[in-house]
Amino acid sequence: MRKKNIRALIFIGIGLALYLLSNVVGEYRVSEGTTAASYVIAIASIVLLTGYTGQISLGHGALMAVGAYAAVLSRIYWHFPLALTFVVAVLAAALAGALLGVAAARLRGPYLAGTTLALAVGLPSLANQFKVLGGEQGLLYDTGSAPDSMMENNTDFKWYFWISALAALIIVWILSNLLSSRYGRQWRALRSAPLPASLTGLNVARSKVLAFTISSGVAGLAGALLAMSLKLVAPSDFPLALSFTILTGAVLAGVSSLAGTVFGALVLLAIPDLTSSLGDHFAMSERVASNLPGFITSLLLIATVIFLPNGPKFLKK
């Protein structure tokens, strides 16, 4: 049996397991699963960009915001069905990524990181300047109702989880096939030895722009799914910290491991619960407790880079 067929069967099996699991656990855990699925997609976009082409982005949270705003605006003004708003999110973020990728093709290392960081810093402020984007209050994301036949004895939480989990499985499956293709081989060559790769006829600039465009489109979908679970799109939902959080998840995944995206997402999901427990146990002030998740995330990023720069060993088996 071909590897692609085996891979497809594995993803179908995972999908069935997630569906059965959603009918066993409580609604709180199901809603956490929705967030985890969004993280998986966002981390996968970093794995594609950084792990395979060597381009460092500190602004993927901003690209997630582009996708989220595009989805909600298409819903409000054009009354697109929910599935089509996700398509709009992917296209809008991919377009933004293509424009940014043109600049990225001329930059590398800290210069590229600084450019994407400026995007992450400036976009929330920019969103506050336009009334059409809802300002600081944001925009409500009317996701509509699930089909009645599917919602019998179920809730919106499960509906959102099924959508997000299915999207995550599809995206990871598509990326796994893409990275196994000639494009993946070209990107690996570009990361490892850009000069020899260009001498073999590889168009380095075009390859970088293509990778940035695809990665941005994937990040836009993650943003739209996150907005769906929140039912709101506001600048405060996509802060600078989100970009660093997603990057931390990618580092935990091993940067170049798609399989590790699930591990990275689950660790990120566990941090708020952990900090909440610590805050209650040590009777921390509200100010300290609110900053603790960011501190732990930063500490985790530093520790992973120092001690496990290639990710946990069990993810490479």
- Residue 280 identity: D
What whole-number distance in Å separates Cα of residue 41 and Cα of residue 157? 19
Provide mean pLDDT across the span 162-171. Answer: 96
pLDDT of 1 > 60? The answer is no
Q: What is the pTM of this model?
A: 0.93
Q: Cα angle vertex 126, ends 79, 227, to 5°?
A: 40
Q: Phi and psi (nearest 5°) for 99?
A: -65, -40
Asked if 240 and 297 count as a contact pair (C-beta separation under 8 A), the reply is no
**One-letter amino acid identity for 67?**
G
- 73-83 average pLDDT score: 94
Q: Is the pLDDT of residue 63 over 80?
A: yes
pLDDT of the residue at 219: 97
| pLDDT tens, position by position, 19-54 | 889 888 988 899 999 999 999 999 999 999 999 988
Report the domain count for the chain. 1
Q: Are strands 139-140 and 232-233 parallel, antiparallel or unpaired?
A: antiparallel
Average pLDDT along the chain: 87
CATH of residue 160's domain is 1.10.3470
Grouping H, G, I as helix, E, B as strand and the rest as coil, residue 283 is: coil
The average pLDDT across 127-135 equals 83
**Mean pLDDT across 60-79:** 95
CB neighbours of 168 closer than 8 A, spacing ≥ 6?
37, 38, 40, 41
Q: Are 96 and 216 in contact (CB under 8 A)?
A: yes
Which two tokens mark 142?
Answer: 């009317």
Question: 277 lies in which domain range?
Answer: 3-316
pLDDT at 310 over 80: no
Report the percent of the chain where pLDDT is more than 90.
Answer: 45
Q: What are the tens digits of pLDDT across the range 195-239? A: 787 777 788 888 989 999 999 999 999 999 999 999 999 998 998
Task: Supply the DSSP string of 198-228, one letter for each residue.
Answer: HHTT--HHHHHHHHHHHHHHHHHHHHHHHHH
Residue 151 scores a pLDDT above 70? no
Which residue has better confidence, 281 or 96? 96
35-49, 121-135, 187-201, 245-259 — most confident range = 35-49
- What residues contact 313, with CB distance under 8 A and at least 6 apart? none
